[in-house]
Amino acid sequence: MNNNNYNKDEQQIIQMLTPSTEVKPSADFRQRVLDAAAAQASSQQASATPQRRVRRISYWLGAVCSAAAVIAIAITLTLNTPAYAARKYFSNALISLQEAKTMVMKLSVRTQADEPIDYINPALDFVPATVKVIYDETMLWSIEKKNGRTVLYKGAEATGNYIYQWIGGQDGKTGWKAEYRGVAGDLAIMLDPRILLEAEYRTAQRNKGTKYEILDLGEVAIVRVSTSAQGNFSQSDYMKNTSLAEANTIREYTFAKDSGLLYQMRIMVMVDKKPVPVVESESIIFNEPLSVENLYDKEAFSRVEFLDMEAEPAQASSLTNIPADKAAKIILEAMHNWDMDILNTAMHYFKGDVMKIVEARYKGLKLKSIGKSFKSGLYPGYFVECKVILANGKEEKLTLALRNDNKEKVWLIDGGL
């Protein structure tokens, strides 16, 4: 198999998923290995018998980085006997997937339906999710949680090249759009098993990594890879186990031994040293008839007002050049009288119907206490724990997520309300 079989977007993702310190083999080494694997696969086939809620509205905008982190946390595999055996399964599966034109994957994910696509919580029940992909020059795809979030890329349009997100069944009609830069969230590893398997295959050639195990179950074989959580947890474990990248996981790939096809995927998160399944594929179907019109609910899409998340936030000098905890204090105090001079900037990600919902709940609040800001996981900003008293007299604990990684370096609330 050759890299030319992947389009530009796919090659870029593969490169990101593969550790940059890879010891490079000779120019034709990889092709010779794949050719040998193909021959071996043909021979085999001939002889075979028949916890926390983290509402971060802009989180999905870190698309490629998040997707890369899911794989980068673990694709350093030890070159021992299991690793060599795994390479065989990965390469055979890659060969069998070369001609795939479409894919529909049914998943069960421990999550909350209206949370971001990549949000997981081992303590929650499973929510059905569907991934649909058309393998064109640029992949067209959708990821949908049942009665929850949908993320869609339906190709370049006259008005721009956008990725869309909205929440199905919500009372409001506000969604979000951003310039397409890649795939969206941790579930994006499911968008193209070829990309995932290619990254795993490349890493199987490396000399350092984690535990790697093969389970031979007769007609199928399971390749099991243990992983470690990515991110900074030195100050707090607040974000631990809220995404696949920020969790210690075990990834399992089940392959049909006769055809080499990927049959099933399962991802487990380690909780108190015990594996808890958080993502399970119910079915993986390739080459089913699928068009752009089948990717999403066009009627629901037409009812949504999409806010452009690429727009720069408004200027607010009071929210620059200060620590995150001081910014949180200014923002919460502005909610008392609903000071739009500050909130128009600080709540850049909360527009339209979302803003109305937040205003109805938090207008008139009083700040009771505020803690010191801290880092956790892969989040590019800071978290601040606060206690507020709502206008109805009830006390509420908040953990605000704030970030200032925009051009103007203005602090924005990114979640926690």
Picking from 305, 320, 354, the residue at the C-terminal end of a domain is 305
The least confident of 45-54, 257-266, 354-363 is 45-54
Average pLDDT value for residue range 172-185: 75
Parent domain of 397 = 312-415
Residue 135 lies in a domain: yes
Picking from 305, 321, 339, the residue at the C-terminal end of a domain is 305
Beta-carbon count within 10 A of 228 CB: 12
Residue 55 lies in a domain: no
CA-nearest of 61, 147, 35 to 380 is: 61
Say yes or no: 69 and 176 in one domain: yes
Say yes or no: 238 and 375 in one domain: no
Give me the pLDDT at residue 281, please.
Answer: 92
Average pLDDT value for residue range 7-16: 51
Give me the pLDDT at residue 414, please.
Answer: 87
The structure tokens listed for 96 are 């069998």
Give the residue, 333 or 160, on which the prediction is more confident: 333
Is residue 360 pLDDT above 80, yes or no? yes
The least confident of 36-45, 227-236, 276-285, 333-342 is 36-45
Say yes or no: 134 and 265 in one domain: yes
Say yes or no: 298 and 328 in one domain: no
Residue 3 lies in a domain: no
What percent of the chain lies above the pLDDT cut of 70? 71
Say yes or no: 182 and 266 in one domain: yes
Say yes or no: 345 and 368 in one domain: yes
Question: What SS3 state is found at 199?
Answer: helix
Residue 107 lies in a domain: yes
Is residue 17 pLDDT above 50, yes or no? no
The least confident of 86-90, 284-288, 346-350 is 86-90
Picking from 305, 337, 357, the residue at the C-terminal end of a domain is 305
Residue 229 lies in a domain: yes
When divided into structural domains, the chain yields a total of: 2
Distance CA 401, CA 305 (A): 25
pLDDT band at 170 (very low <50, low <70, confident <90, very high): low
Say yes or no: 322 and 180 in one domain: no
Give me the pLDDT at residue 24, please.
Answer: 37
Q: What is the pLDDT of residues 115-156, one digit of tens each?
A: 888 889 999 999 999 999 998 777 899 999 998 999 999 988
Residue 173 lies in a domain: yes
The least confident of 28-42, 110-124, 311-325, 345-359 is 28-42
Give me the pLDDT at residue 412, please.
Answer: 92
The least confident of 45-59, 262-276, 360-374, 388-402 is 45-59
Per-residue 3-state assignment (H helix, E strand, C coil) for 355-407? HHHHHHHHCCCEEEEECCCECCECCCCEEEEEEEECCCCCEEEEEEEEECCCC
Say yes or no: 81 and 225 in one domain: yes
CA 188-190-193 angle, to 5 degrees, is 125
Say yes or no: 220 and 345 in one domain: no
CATH number for position 257: 2.50.20.10
Residue 35 lies in a domain: no
Say yes or no: 280 and 323 in one domain: no
CATH number for position 335: 3.10.450
Give the residue, 358 or 42, on which the prediction is more confident: 358
Residue 224 lies in a domain: yes
Average pLDDT value for residue range 153-180: 83
Give me the pLDDT at residue 307, please.
Answer: 82
Say yes or no: 239 and 339 in one domain: no
Is residue 219 pLDDT above 70, yes or no? yes
Say yes or no: 139 and 162 in one domain: yes
